[in-house]
Amino acid sequence: MISTLLPALALASGAAAKGIWVTPHDSYSSSIGVLGCKINTDRVAYWPSSVDCDNICVKVSHEGRSVHLLKIDQSGGAYDISYDAWNYLQTGKSAATDPIAGGTVPMDYEDVPASECAHLILTDGAKLPLSASNSMNFVTSCLSQPGSFVAKNHVLYNICDSVCSLGHDEQCSLDLAVSNQPACPHTLGLTSPLKSAPVFNIMYQTGKTVNAATGEAASPRARPADPVVPVVEKAAPVVSKPAPVVPVQTPGVFKEVEVAPVAPSSTAAAAVSSAPVPTWAHGRPDGASASWTKEAPTATIAPGAFTTGGPVAPHFNGTHPAGQPVPHSTFLVVASSAPAAQPSAGGAREVVTSAGCRASTSLLLAAVALLGSLLMI
């Protein structure tokens, strides 16, 4: 069974991309009257097959690069593509800036949906721009296929030639129930000189840009680039920070609130935001740890009173400079209108002295009691 499927799969995959020999084409033309001033003429395929109403877009690939091309002209037998596209597929650069010379180059191509060439069509809605006076045979044949791409997506202009040098740059309408000729604001097919919408060619080997109608040199123009999948940059997550608490000149009562050990990656701001009432934090300059200043219960809350440190400061269970978390609970000193709270039942409160040494409150009290006994003796 597998041996039967493998040849079929190989045939199917081979049908998607076909090997061809590609040559450069440096002068724009269109056998069906597509107006060069309304498309990207640097991305056109001139194929041996006739242009039809659906397959007007091909993807050509070479050595990891690929371009989409509008297949809107029939060649005499060669697989020609715009010189700029041929140059880009080999060098990754435009022929206008880094031209190369050469002949046929082996490449791969595949027919793709017309929508994939929409970026090459410069009209509103990416409708194929056609000459109202010289494209009617093609338009009529496509209208007989109402489901075709061209039947649904074309627009007529009162321009006589594909390099947009004659006529009027205006849209025309077609109502076959009234007439088989388009109706335009000006006389249809009038060969008035048109200079407002020039078409440019990039000349083979030299890379010079010239006017397609006159051959006159022109300044290199900004041409539409091949589509690039946009990179959507992820916005940095918005971290809600607690609003700063401004100390006021009023007496306050304080209490110690026990907070469970926090992760080493936690910050002082995170610990503060988890406190039940406003907390003033004092952080180390290196940001490795933080502490909260303890004041007397009857102290006045003055500006900056909680940022200058103090002789006793409950330790923040954050990250030490060595990167190790402190494995104990933390008591935060917070402002409160309630009376000073007692420590948790049975829990000895760990504090950090101004010298950075930890001591158990119960041990300190025992030491004070022993000292008093000695003095009485």
**In this predicted structure, which of 75-79, 114-118, 189-193, 229-233 has the lowest mean pLDDT?**
229-233
Q: Is the pLDDT of residue 267 over 90?
A: no
- State the pLDDT at residue 30: 98
pLDDT at 239: 52
Task: Output the average pLDDT for the chain.
Answer: 70
At 238, is the secondary structure helix, strand, or coil? coil
Q: Which of 182, 211, 240 is the last residue of a domain?
A: 211
Residue 122 — pLDDT band, cuts 50, 70, 90?
Answer: very high
Whether the predicted pLDDT of 293 surpasses 80 = no
Identify the pLDDT of residue 297: 34
CATH of residue 204: 2.40.40.10
Tell me the per-residue pLDDT of 47-67, one tens digit each, with 9 for 90 and over.
999 999 999 999 999 999 999
Q: Tell me, yes or no, whether 231 lies in a domain.
A: no
Pairing of strands 350-353, 330-336: unpaired
Q: Is residue 103 part of a domain?
A: yes
Residues 214-238 have a mean pLDDT of 59
**Structural contact between residues 280 and 247, judged by C-beta atoms closer than 8 angstroms:** yes
- Whether residues 254 and 207 fall in one domain: no
The verdict on 91 and 200 lying in the same domain is yes
Residue 1 has pLDDT above 70, yes or no: no
Confidence grade of residue 237 (pLDDT, cut at 50, 70, 90): low
Q: Check whether residue 177 and residue 295 sit in a common domain.
A: no
DSSP lists the bridge partners of residue 131 as: 157
Q: Residue 159, Cβ neighbours under 10 Å: how many? A: 31
pLDDT in tens, 171-199: 999 999 999 999 999 999 999 999 999 99
Per-residue pLDDT band for 373 (boundaries 50, 70, 90) equals low
Cβ 354 vs Cβ 326: under 8 Å: no
The model's confidence at residue 85, banded by pLDDT at 50, 70 and 90, is very high
Residues 282 and 176 in one domain: no
In a domain, 222, yes or no: no
Would you place residue 304 in the very low, low, confident or very high pLDDT band (cuts 50, 70, 90)? very low
pLDDT at 233: 37
Task: For residues 215-224, give the mean pLDDT.
Answer: 75
Cβ count within 10 A of residue 111: 16
- Residues ≥6 apart with Cβ < 8 Å to 275: 257, 259, 332, 334
Would 216 be classed as within a structural domain?
no
Any domain includes 277:
yes
Q: Tokens representing 14?
A: 């081979």
What single string gives the DSSP state of each residue in 85-110?
A: HHHHHHHSS-TTTS------EEEEEE
So what's the pLDDT on residue 17? 84
Q: Does 9 reside within a domain? A: no
Considering the domain architecture, whether residues 25 and 151 belong to the same structural domain is answered as yes
Q: Which residue, of 154, 188, 211, is where some domain finishes?
A: 211
| pLDDT in the model for residue 220 | 72
User: How, if at all, do strands 253-259 and 312-313 pair?
Assistant: unpaired
Give the span between the Cα atoms of 38 and 56, in whole angstroms: 15
Are 271 and 178 contained in the same domain?
no
What integer pLDDT is reported at residue 175 of this predicted model?
Answer: 95
In this structure, the strands spanning 18-25 and 154-159 are unpaired
**Share above pLDDT 90 across residues of the chain, in percent, rounded to a whole number:** 53
pLDDT (0 to 100) of residue 245? 42
Q: What pLDDT does residue 219 have?
A: 82
Percent of the chain with pLDDT over 70: 54
Q: What is the mean pLDDT of residues 346-361?
A: 33
Residues 264 and 185 in one domain: no
Measure the CA–CA gap between 355 and 189, rounded to whole angstroms.
96
Confidence (pLDDT) at 149: 97
Show which of 153, 182, 211 is a domain's final residue. Answer: 211
The answer to whether residues 206 and 263 belong to one domain is: no
Q: Where are the beta strands (DSSP E) in 63-172?
A: 65-74, 79-82, 105-111, 128-131, 154-159, 167-172
User: Is residue 94 predicted with pLDDT exceeding 90?
Assistant: yes
Q: Domain of 118? A: 17-211
| Number of domains the chain contains | 2
Rounded to whole angstroms, the Cα distance separating 257 from 6 reads 72
Q: Which residues contact 337 (CB under 8 A, 6 or more apart)?
A: 252, 253
What Cα–Cα distance (Å) separates residue 130 from each residue in 35, 137, 176, 278?
6, 11, 17, 72
Neighbour count for residue 12 (Cβ, 10 Å): 9
Please indicate whether residue 92 or residue 318 has the higher confidence score (pLDDT). Answer: 92
The whole-number pLDDT of residue 153 equals: 98
78 falls within a domain = yes
**Do residues 297 and 344 share a domain?**
yes
pLDDT bracket for residue 223 (50, 70, 90): low
* CA-to-CA separations, 197 to 48, 159, 168, 179, in angstroms, rounded: 29, 10, 10, 28
348 occurs within a structural domain: yes
Shared domain for 138 and 73, answered yes or no, is yes
Mean pLDDT of 349-375: 39
pLDDT of amino acid 211 = 97
Burial (CB < 10 A; 0-12, 13-18, 19+), residue 31, is middle
Q: State phi, psi for 263 to the nearest 5 degrees.
A: -65, 150
Both 271 and 160 in a single domain?
Answer: no
Is the same domain home to 45 and 131? yes
